[in-house]
Amino acid sequence: MECCVSREKASECRLAVKRARKAVGLSQLELGRLIRLPEIKISRLETGRDAISRDIALRIHSALSLYFKKHGGNK
């Protein structure tokens, strides 16, 4: 995942987060717990109300990658 700078990139980034989260079968709450962010923050990131920083993008990517390796795809 890249840091989302432009509006176009930010939109792609939001969709990537949402698709990746759903691909491994996690709710916003579960993803939030994995990366230590409140569920509302995950919701805001996915809807575009909050910008996705490089740090958060890397945390999400790492958490989803590890979760997928441990548990496979959808629950």
CB 43 within 8 A of CB 32: no
Task: Report CA Rg, the chain.
Answer: 11
Q: What is the pLDDT of residues 62-71, one digit of tens each?
A: 999 999 888 8
Q: Which residues fall within 8 angstroms of residue 53, CB to CB, at 6 or more apart?
A: 3
**Nearest Cα to 64, choosing from 35, 40, 38, 44?**
35
Domains in the chain: boundaries: 7-68
Query: How many degrees, rounded to 5, is the angle at CA 57 between CA 45 and CA 24?
Result: 80
Residues 5-55: tens digit of each pLDDT: 556 667 788 888 899 899 889 999 999 999 999 999 999 999 888 888 889
Instruction: Give the global pTM.
Output: 0.78
In the CATH scheme, what is the homologous superfamily, with its name and number, of domain 7-68?
A: lambda repressor-like DNA-binding domains (1.10.260.40)
